[in-house]
Structure 1
Amino acid sequence: MMKNLQLSLFILLVFSLVSLTTVAQSVKVQGIVKDENGFLPFATIKIGRTSNNADAKGLYGIYLSAGVPVTLKISSAGYQTLLVNLPAIQRDTTINWKLEKIQNDLDEVVVSATRRPEQLRNITSSVTVISRKKLENEIAINPDLTAILANQVPGIAPSAQSGSNVGQNLRGRPMLVMIDGVSQSSPLRNAEVDLRSIDPSVLQQVEVVKGATAIYGNGAAGGLVNYITLVPDTAQKFAGKTDISYNGSLVKLKNSAGGRISQMFYGKTNKFDYVLSGVAEQTGEYRDAKGDIVGPNYSLGETDSYNAFAKIGYQPTKNQRLQLVYNFYSSLQHSNYTLINGNLATGQKATGKLGAPAGIPTGNQYNHNLHFSYKLDSLFLKTSLTADAYYENREDVFYVSAGRFDGGDGQSLAHNDKKGARIFLQTPIIDHLPVTANLAYGLDFLRDKTSQPLVDGRVWVPTMDMTNLAPFVQADVNLFRNLIFKTGFRYEHVNIDVDDYQTLRITGANGATVTPSINVTGGALKYNTALFNAGFKYNKLPLFSPFVSYSQGFSVMDIGLALRDARASSIDKINTDAVRVNNYELGFESSFKGLKLTASAYRSTSKLGIEVVYDPATTLYNTNRSPENIYGYELAANFIITPSLNISGSYSYTEGKRDVNGNGKYNDPEDLYLNGRRISAPKITGSINYLPLRVLDLTLNYTGIMKRDRFEKNATSGIYNGNEGVVEPYNLFSFAAGFRVNKNTRLSLGIDNLFNEDYFPARAQWFMQPGFYSKGRGRAVNLGLSVRY
């Protein structure tokens, strides 16, 4: 027994010595991971296959074997990965690391294309990202999101400088506008006011996915615009930012002055992070290049805009996050001018005269968004889960139509009420090089109630109650780190209930009946369709990274337009068939030293159309359902000449025709080009950014709209029909300068329409409506002060 005890003590002693030796041979490396703004939370520090994460304050700690050199990999989404060959360390050491933000657009992280964070270089379709820095430069000139998108995104039609984005399509088709993935659009009644749904000051970036997409389903026939809201860029408990600006005309200053103030607070404390923001903006009179009032129909002159935003995040554990976001936006025109119609035959512009406009103020009365999300990593089999629920409620006010409704005036409202819930899961199937594969799957549910009554309570478009349920599955495979394959399937089940209603009698200028009032029996409209997508990309050669993709899109067309113009006694006799779009795209990305180039060509087809065409006989707009073929190409380049000088540019061309006789061909004499409401004129953009001093940055932007002439004049009137006017070219330049007074204070100067171009915006030219035949805004200035603390 004594021998056994001695043996046990000897073994215990040996193990103790080994343990002490092991501890003695381990050293601790700790410190802080930072970026240019301070602490960088939750960065990853990787040694071989072992990973550790910094905490919310950027603090990290890892154990290494003493005297053994190692390679550390420090990374965080949106930052350049830092590889460090660490020499042999003999004792506990403190080392701080600083990560640099990614400047290469091809390495930006996006979420819209696949509904999860992914590097842009791994996307198999065309995506444009407007970064926070680009947004700030554009806001310094003009904070209108319709103008920012037109200037920065190839494929998006020109801005009309208006509260309405009629005709501002994406590659010739309607797009789905979202805030953090929550739709602001309604395919039931496309009021085309959705681009102005939030103030750009609360956006982290804007992601534009081009071409029909099955990822988000109903409504994304032309692609999507996703406004990604801010995340705190500091690890401090409390930080803030105040922006104040003055804007006005440089052609005629009187009564054109306006102002804007934005107050933001943000920070992180323990497991919570937050962003709180309020914006108030008022514009003065808009003046054209001659100093005359810009026609007040939907003008952004004399407009009051407000935005309230709150985002609260809570991270109970490293792999969980709860987030609540609320956004309120309102933008109404309080004009002191009544409209003077333009003359389409003589080219006389529309303008205004002092007087009280008819009706209530036009614009976005309100837009409420409430969005709750929950994210969990490593649920099972390394599966990640994202579940969210949302609510959106908005009301938009349109202009007064004189003498149109039953012999009298009428002003309509668009009501949109959405409730939805989604579940999204992702499971790694293969996680061993040279092959990795992931499977994403889930279910989307949406309840959308849309209507368009008149202000006085009369029903123009009845309430449409849509229930949309859509299961989906997406897979992506990465072969040998360079060949990427993505594919997916989505099934749309849509049910739309419409009550019995009565159409309004529509009258002409002489009071005669154009369309009579009809009692329409309602009912249920049902749609079931399967959508498929697939894409390849090869990334091995930076000089040439080609991609090819095929994706289907789906939209229940503009049902509200068909219902309000019904000439049948039952909705089952009205053509309300949904539109199914097939999108084909081929392109490449190229990177050589400081030059980055992207190019793509695309084709979009559908057996049914959604073109709004003008009927000269009734003076009404109807929806044409002929098959459509849209095609085009885009080029974009960015060249970093020196660290302080950068130039970029793009060219986009879109064209489309409809198969009027339905024989599957588009070159017959009776086949027609799609009109200006759908197809924009070719567009060129350019930008030069120069930093002559570390505290001074200068930007010169250019947007050029080229000519499009596809239609003949009306033989009776001698002018072009509505939506078919010739677009004559025009060239716009803008300038922005920023001067950093100190670390926390910045002054900005922005000049829009730098050379005071006298022009009609593209929409004014093709729309061919006397009330909208207005000139563009002349030279205007924006002076700003920004203070961080």
Structure 2
Amino acid sequence: MRIVIFIVCLAISPLGVFCQQSVFTVSGTVTASDGVPAPSVTVRLKENNRTSVTDVNGRYHFSSVPAGSYTLLVSMIGNKPEQKSIQVVNAAVQANISLESASSQLTEVIVSAGRVRETIDEVPSSVVILGSKTIEQNINITTNLGDILENRVSGLAPSTGLSSNFGQTLRGRSLLIMVDGIPQSTPLRNGAMDLRALDPSVIEKVEVVKGATAIYGNGAAGGLINYFTKNAKTDKVLNSLTSVGMTGSLVKSANSVGSRLSQTFYGDKNKLSYVASGVYEQTGELKDAKGDVLPPVYGLGETDSYNAFAKLGYEINARHRVQASYNFYSSRQTTNYLTVNGDYKNGVKTTAVQGQAKGVPQGVRGNHNLSLQFSGETGIANTHYDADIYYQSVDNIFFYSEAFVDGGISRILSKKNGARVVFNTPFVGRNMDANLTYGLDAQRDITSQPLVDGRIWVPEMDMFNLAPFLQTKFNLFSKLVLKGGVRYEKVSIGVSDYATLPSRNTTTGVVTPSMNVKGGTLRYNTWVFNAGARYHLSDYFQPYVSFSQGFSVSDVGLALRAARVNDIAKINTEAVIVSNYEAGFVSKFNKFRFEATGYISKSDLGANSVFQNGIFVVVRTPERITGFELSADMQVSKRLQAGVSYTYTEGKLDGDNDGSFNGKSDEYLPGQRIAPPKITGHADYAIIPGKLNVMLQYTGILRRDRFARNASGSYDPYKAPVNPYHLFNSVISYQANSSVSLNLGLENMFNADYFTARSQWGTFNDSYTKGKGAAYRLTLQVKL
């Protein structure tokens, strides 16, 4: 029969050639162990050693495959190698492959560490990921992102419990906050209100990259936190998620009741997907453990918060996708209370009394984020591209201050426009997979700090940043990962002529007069580098080492407003280059994961702000920060999952600039930079699987005491000791059916009476405040 067919094919030439050489396509999707499409994975046809690399959606494709028997080979670090036999006979073959994790821990896919999708097992540094389940559980306790991150991110300083995250550093340095890669931080004039850039209900995942990095540009001296907003993951056209809740104090509950309403619609049909949501939350009076109202400065009591979010995605074809998103966030305090100064030296807390606050409500008047993103395949050498343009603007309003002559309220105004393009080209060898990531970032940032009444405190700073970059990664023998890269920062900051604002020392009453300052253009041109290696010796021992540099234009606005010279050229505004050296390892034993990391962070120039004579000034002394972090997670049983972490950080200034940090002139970095040791723990237990669940959290802030008392018998600002305190939170969740759930969250459930770390090291009488007392949050959620 075969001979007959062969003769017929020859007889109907020229189709005979086609019959002899019938070829087909082989394609499919590769998914990781958690079901997420796995990009940049090499798929091999064993018999002819042809290779294909999966795209951003995990899809691979072979064309012109002759009929026959083949074996597909797939390998990805952190997963067990997979092979699948296929038969190519007389039609195209669709073969999907699901990878299995090399251990019980899921191999999560991240993008923040290298600008492309990769697994966490390919990153030679410490990375923390908070998934949607963790975020959803914590929203049932608090919606303050500083509190949520405090418990789950080792290396992050204690939460302030306020609208300001000043002092909540990462490894003792400033960090860059992003939403879907869009910078939220304002490094030109750091107002420290960027951690609360959006409502947590629209966050799908948080990625935290620790240690100096310049991968996204200016500002990540200590690392970065990237909030990823929600995507539609469903085949239904219309889905609805409604959340209604109330909050209040468990101590003297009068006037403490607040409410929250969240509504989300989402859907996915064919090539189109969308998410749209709106959130409104109103808090009542917040109270400490004694039932006293917390003071309003930077407070979150009596606050109205709004969040509007929309995302629309469209798959143009199998190779190209476009997505547009917009997020608006506002959170402002309208209070009936005034602050009553405490007395730090005598241990008297700052309190509040009823009264009408001066000026306009403090908080985030508006934070807008708008982006248009394109992604897909170029069609050349399996190269994948990501390109986006974005706009971000923020208006942060601060509190009324007598430090301004005749009083006043300052605000930080910042607008960013940016465009980015990233290419990723894979290279495949027999025992080596490699890829090259390269691109260009361009951003314009215009930031200023005027007073609400129009007086100029910090003049408008117009920054343009252009930065080409190149990253390489080699996966050798499915064991060794080598990474390295370089980025060139070209920055110019234009400042017009201006006059400093007269200020008053609120303690002595002495007025510092105005000074005329000649403007100009500040220019920065520098190279920053990174390199790292990670070796997968076994599940039990996976060591890594890395070196990375971060580029940060120090708080230029702070230097400008405190100028005591008549020309900005005479102000030390030189950029800070931070070098971070890190070594660690990961060990996995069945359902147990342990990670230990140690690091040294050095900079020849510092950017430490200190409070002198009633004003903030910047100290440019060289700095060295050291520390280590330990974390462990375990799936104890099918019902119980638990984790713990420990953080220790220390830092010093090289006062005599001799390269050593042990001289008599050298001193420890103060409290707003270096946090006390922190220990955290959490446990998640399914009492009735699928029905009743309880989650417990513990956060312990330990003691740090590095400075002597001053001549008055007290401590200088930022140099006071921090005494320990211990906090416990919990959530009880009941799933009534597939659509309805009820959640009860308890914050500071044992009503610990404590001063926050920021209040303790700060020593300021107007902000020597207690932490929040026991509180509840009751939430009903309906999913349709």
Determine if the TM-score, normalized by the shorter chain, exceeds 0.5.
yes
Q: Distance in 1 between the 2:559 and 2:653 partners? A: 19
Offset, 1:88: 9.2
Counterpart check, 1:536 vs 2:533: yes
Hey, what does 1:215 align to over in structure 2? Answer: 215
CA distance in 1: counterparts of 2:167 and 2:595, whole angstroms? 26
Gap change, CA 1:32 and 1:544, over 3 Å in 2: closer
1:486 aligns with 2:483: yes
> Which position in structure 1 is the counterpart of 2:297?
297
Contact 1:47 1:70 in 2 (8 A): no
**Per the alignment, in what secondary structure is the counterpart of residue 763 of structure 1?**
helix
Match of 2:677 in 1: 682
**How far did 1:86 drift?**
7.3
Tell me if the contact between 1:33 and 1:96 (Cα under 8 Å) persists in the aligned partners.
no
Corresponding residue of 1:133: 133
User: Is 2:108–2:120's contact at 8 Å kept on the other side of the alignment?
Assistant: yes
Q: What is the Cα deviation at residue 459 of structure 1?
A: 0.5
- The separation in 2 between residues aligned to 1:745 and 1:290, in whole angstroms, is 36
Structure 1 residues 52 and 591: alpha-carbon distance in aligned structure 2, compared to 1, 3 A threshold:
closer
Partner of residue 251, structure 2 = 251
TM alignment of 1:731-770, pairs within 5 A: 731-770=726-765
Equivalenced residues, count:
772
Give the secondary-structure state (helix, strand or coil) at the position aligned to 2:317: coil
CA–CA distance in 2 between the matches of 1:737 and 1:61? 50
The 5 Å alignment of 1:100-139 reads 107-139=107-139
Instruction: In structure 2, give the amino acid aligned to 1:359.
Output: G
The residue number in structure 2 matching 1:311 is 311
Say whether the 8 Å CA contact 2:77–2:122 is kept in structure 1: no
Counterpart code for 2:639: S
Matched, 1:496 2:482: no
Matches within 5 A, 1:82-97: none
2:554 is the alignment partner of 1:591: no
Q: Does the CA contact (< 8 Å) of 2:233 and 2:268 recur in 1?
A: no
1:739 shift after superposition: 1.5
Which residue identity is paired with 2:541? F
Q: Please name the residue that 1:4 is paired with.
A: none
Q: Deviations over 1:743-775 (max 9, x none)?
A: 122211110101110001100101111111111
Contact 1:271 1:314 in 2 (8 A): yes
- Asked whether the 8 Å contact 2:382–2:425 carries over to 1, the reply is yes
Query: Identity over the aligned pairs, expressed in percent?
Result: 44
- Correspondence for 2:263: 263
Shift of residue 216, structure 1, vs aligned partner: 1.4
Give the deviation of 1:44 after TM superposition.
Answer: 10
* Counterpart check, 1:343 vs 2:338: no
Q: Which residue of 2 aligns with 1:787?
A: 782
Map of 2:423 onto structure 1: 425
My pick for the range that moved more, 673-682 or 641-650, is 641-650
Q: Contact 2:52/2:62 (CA < 8 Å) preserved in 1?
A: no
Residue equivalent to 2:168: 168
TM-superposed CA distance for 1:280, in Å, is 0.7
Provide the secondary structure at the position in 1 that maps to 2:121.
helix
Residues 80, 99 of structure 1: 8 Å contact kept? no
2:770 is the alignment partner of 1:775? yes
- 2:247 touches 2:257 (CA, 8 Å); kept in 1? yes
2:657 is equivalent to residue 662 of structure 1: yes
Change (3 A) 1:702 1:33: closer
Q: Can you give the 5+ residue segments of structure 1 that lack an aligned partner in the other structure?
A: 1-6
Where does residue 3 of structure 1 map in the other structure? none
Distance apart, 1:302 and its partner CA: 1.0
Take 1:312 and 1:198, find their aligned partners in 2: how far apart are those partners?
18
2:11 alignment counterpart: 12
Q: CA deviation at 1:642?
A: 1.0
Change (3 A) 1:455 1:52: closer
1:181 aligns with 2:178: no
1:15 Cα offset (Å): 10
Distance in 2 (CA, whole Å) between partners of 1:249 and 1:587 is: 42
Change in 2 beyond 3 A, CA 1:97/1:88: closer
Shift of 1:374: 0.9
Partner amino acid, structure 2, of 1:731 = H
Give the SS at the match of 2:636: strand
TM-score norm. by structure 1 comes to 0.91
More divergent stretch after superposition (41-50 vs 486-495): 41-50
CA–CA distance in structure 1, aligned partners of residues 268 and 529 of structure 2: 42
**What pairs up with 1:29-44 in 2 under 5 angstroms?**
none
**1:561 lines up with 2:558 in the alignment:** yes
Q: 1:715 aligned to 2:698?
A: no
1:107 Cα shift?
A: 1.1
SS of the aligned residue for 1:577 comes to coil
1:174, CA displacement in angstroms?
0.3
Counting only pairs closer than 5 Å after superposition, residues 329-478 of structure 1 correspond to structure 2 as 329-402=329-402, 404-406=403-405, 408-428=406-426, 430-478=427-475
Structure 2 residue 322 is the aligned partner of structure 1 residue 288? no
1:652 to 637, 640, 647: 647
> TM-score normalized by structure 2?
0.91
Q: Contact 1:295/1:775 (CA < 8 Å) preserved in 2?
A: no
How far apart are 1:692 and its partner, in Å?
Answer: 2.2
Check 1:45–1:582 CA distance in 2 against 1; reply closer, same or farther (3 A cut): closer
Measure the CA separation in 1 of the matches of 2:93 and 2:217.
Answer: 50
C-alpha distance 756-82 of structure 1, shift in aligned 2 (>3 A):
farther
* Superposition CA RMSD, Å: 3.5
Change (3 A) 1:229 1:634: same
Match of 2:3 in 1: none
Q: Which amino acid aligns with 1:140?
A: N
Q: Is the 8 A contact 2:505 2:615 kept in 1?
A: no
Give how far 1:100 is off: 9.9
The separation in 1 between residues aligned to 2:585 and 2:507, in whole angstroms, is 57
Q: For residue 736 of structure 2, give the secondary structure of its aligned residue in structure 1.
A: strand
Any conservation in 1 of the 2:73–2:84 contact (CA below 8 Å)? no
CA contact (8 A) 2:344 2:768 kept: yes
Q: Is residue 192 of structure 1 aligned with residue 187 of structure 2?
A: no
What displacement does 1:433 show? 2.7
* Separation of aligned partners in 2, 1:496 and 1:343: 42
CA contact (8 A) 2:515 2:564 kept: yes
**Does the 8 A contact of 2:646 with 2:679 survive in 1?**
yes
Alignment of 1:205-244 (within 5 A): 205-244=205-244
CA shift digits 1:63-116 (9 cap, x unpaired): 9999x99877899x9998896867999999999999799896661111000011
1:62 Cα deviation from its structure 2 partner: 13
SS at match of 2:188: coil
C-alpha deviations, 1:90-145, integer Å up to 9, x for none? 99999999979989666111100001110001001111111111101111111111
Asked if 1 retains the 8 angstrom alpha-carbon contact of 2:600 and 2:624, the reply is: yes
* 1:78/1:108 contact within 8 Å kept: no
Q: Determine the structure 2 residue equivalent to 1:638.
A: 633
Compute the displacement of 1:576 (Å).
0.9
1:727 equivalent in alignment to 2:722: yes
Looking at structure 2, the residues matched to 329 and 471 of structure 1 have their Cα atoms a distance apart, in angstroms, of: 31
Of 628-637 and 96-105, deviating more is 96-105
Moved more, 388-397 or 687-696: 687-696
Relative to structure 1, is the Cα distance of residues 678 and 36 closer, same or farther in structure 2, using a 3 angstrom cutoff?
A: closer
Shift of 1:229: 1.1
| C-alpha contact 2:30 2:38 (8 A) present in aligned 1 | no
Check conservation: 1:165, 1:194, Cα contact below 8 A.
yes
CA distance in 2, matches of 1:277, 1:573: 49
Find the residue that maps to 1:136 and give its secondary structure. Answer: helix
Aligned partners of 1:489 and 1:33: how far apart in 2? 31
Measure, in 2, the Cα distance between the counterparts of 1:250 and 1:97. Answer: 53
The answer on whether the counterparts of 1:366 and 1:395 sit within 8 Å (CA) in structure 2 is: yes
For each residue in 1:443-495, what CA deviation from the matched residue of structure 2 results, as whole angstroms up to 9, or x when unmatched? 11110000000111100000000011111111111111111110001111111
Say whether the 8 Å CA contact 1:367–1:392 is kept in structure 2: yes
Partners of 1:510 and 1:703 in 2: CA distance = 36
Q: Quick one: structure 1 residues 28 and 511, their matched pair in 2 at CA, closer, same or farther if it must change by over 3 Å?
A: closer
| Deviation for aligned residue 1:619 | 2.6
Determine if contact 1:71/1:83 at 8 Å carries over to the other structure. Answer: no
Distance 1:28 1:625, change over 3 A: closer
Give the aligned residue type for 1:276.
A
Q: 2:621 is aligned with what amino acid? A: S
- In structure 2, distance between residues paired with 1:26 and 1:661: 73
Query: Which of the residues 699, 703, 706 maps onto 1:703?
Result: 699
Asked if the contact 1:324–1:371 (Cα under 8 Å) also holds between the matched residues in 2, the reply is yes
CA 1:42–1:623: 2 relative to 1, 3 Å: closer
Judging changes above 3 Å, is the alpha-carbon distance between structure 1 residues 280 and 593 closer, same or farther for their aligned structure 2 residues?
same
Q: Name the CA shift for 1:91/1:781 in 2 (closer, same or farther; >3 Å).
A: farther
Q: Quick check: 1:147–1:161 contact (8 Å CA) kept in 2?
A: yes
